[in-house]
Amino acid sequence: MKKFIPAVALLAAAFAGSTAVRAADVEVAHWWTSGGEQAAVSVFANEFDALGGDKWIDGAIAGGEASRSATLQRILGGNPPGAAQFNPGRQYEELIANGQLLDLTDLATKENWAGLIRPQSISEACLVDGHWWCVPVNIHSWNWAWASIPAFKAAGVELPTSFADFLEKAPKLKAAGITPFAIGGESWQISGAFGVVQTSMLGLEKREQILKGKDVALAAAEMPAVFTKWREFKQYTDEGSANRNWNDTTNLVITGKAAMQIMGDWARGEFAVAGQKAGVDYACLALPIEAPTVSTGGDIFLFPKNSDPAVEAAQLKMASMMITPRVQALFNNAKGSMPVRDDVDMSLADDCMKKGLEIIKDEKNIAVDAGRWLSNDTTGQMNDLAAKFWADDSMTVEDAVAQYVDILKNAD
């Protein structure tokens, strides 16, 4: 068998003819390691390998921070991976400015990405100064809450109709031995959920004024209420939340031990892997419940420049593959995210994704991801603050707001 493979490879090369570029291995750096994420990334890997010739080499590193750090260090060190996952926004702005990325403009023009990808704020993450520097592969919204229907039934209460309503029902859930509010104590989880509460309370317009316009006065006026409300959630969490992974936290909702988690729609993949059905076992509530929105987070793949033409050809092939309607449908169904184009066969989509696709149709419901406006440095400072405020009950709201304003003032 071992001898057989090189023989086949030789034959294939002979058929391909001498003009074909030889096959390349493309190492792909990403942080998709949970069950649902694995299922999704396998779609990319299998589809890419099926194109023949080139090979997908999986370079998964657990944790977004760790994976992005490794990629950045490798690019700086001159040994970049073939492709790398990032979140859309400012995480890779310096790579673009320094000319470290493969320009995908020709491919994008040929395939009309600008016309296909919607909403516009998704393509803006990759289309910088008229050039395409990356491929958006999905739309992930942070603005979701995941509720366990059996847990709410067991406590004898209906699903919440607003955050205020949830906080009213939480004591009953707690009395029934259920953790009302599931959250993992990592700073990005806390900060993310805090951001959703902020969106719910301020509305999209004021949120944009604060985070994009860096309106310090508005922040000083509006944020005290947000911090105060946010602290109310804490009494309804469980003891084990410190340093818990997001997917372990989602599992509490899946098993009915906890009632609700605020988490991006990547959580949907976990419910799918556990074999649960939307509307029966769990409910997905687009937030704010009163006026649902979708935030434009998600993932992009960028392709660091490579001197090997075979790798470059494979990179372009991979970029093109990721955005085809078929792959978009398969990948996003497994991932729990929404496709970046409309002409995708969504017959497999479940209720939650259909809900999201309905919301995203109207530009007014789109909450642009804060990562577009804030650098990683600023986001990190806000994460620190959210985590500190959450953990330290002795920190006053005034103090938290003062720090928040300070971070905003110094944001670059």
**Residues in contact with other proteins by the rule CB under 8 A:** 64-66, 68-69, 72-73, 76, 91, 94-95, 98, 185-187, 238-243, 375-377, 380, 384, 387-392, 403, 410
User: To the nearest 10°, the Cα dihedral for 42, 44, 48, 51?
Assistant: 100
Closest CB 407 distance from other proteins, rounded Å: 10
Tokens 């509307």 -> residue: 279
Nearer to other proteins, 187 or 328 (CB): 187
Smallest gap from residue 393 Cβ to other proteins (A): 9
Is-contact 311 24, C-beta < 8 A? yes
CA–CA gap between residue 88 and residue 331 (Å, rounded): 18
Instruction: Kindly state the smallest distance separating residue 91's Cβ from other proteins, in Å.
Output: 8
Q: Which is nearer to other proteins, 187 or 320 (CB)?
A: 187
**Pairing mode of beta strands 258-262, 179-182:** parallel
Closer residue to other proteins, CB minimum distance, 342 or 393: 393
Q: How far is the CB of 33 from other proteins (least distance, A)?
A: 16
DSSP letters for 296-321: -EEEEEE-B--S-HHHHHHHHHHHHH
C-alpha triplet 267, 272, 275: angle, nearest 5°: 135
* Exposure string over 323-357, b if 16+ CB within 10 A, otherwise e: beeebbbbbbbbbbbbbbbeebebeebbebbebbb
- Closest separation between CB of residue 186 and other proteins, Å? 6
Return the sign of the alpha-carbon dihedral for residues 68, 74, 76, 80: negative
Would you say 76 or 217 has its CB closer to other proteins? 76
- Specify the residue, 144 or 389, whose C-beta has the smaller distance to other proteins: 389
* Nearer to other proteins (CB atom), residue 66 or residue 175: 66
Cα gap 305→321, rounded to integer Å:
18
For residue 386, the minimal CB distance to other proteins (Å) is 10
Share of the chain residues as helix, strand and coil, in percent rounded to the nearest 5: 50, 15, 35
Return the number of the residue (34 or 187) whose C-beta is nearest other proteins: 187
Q: How far is the CB of 305 from other proteins (least distance, A)?
A: 15
Token digits of residue 296: 């434009």
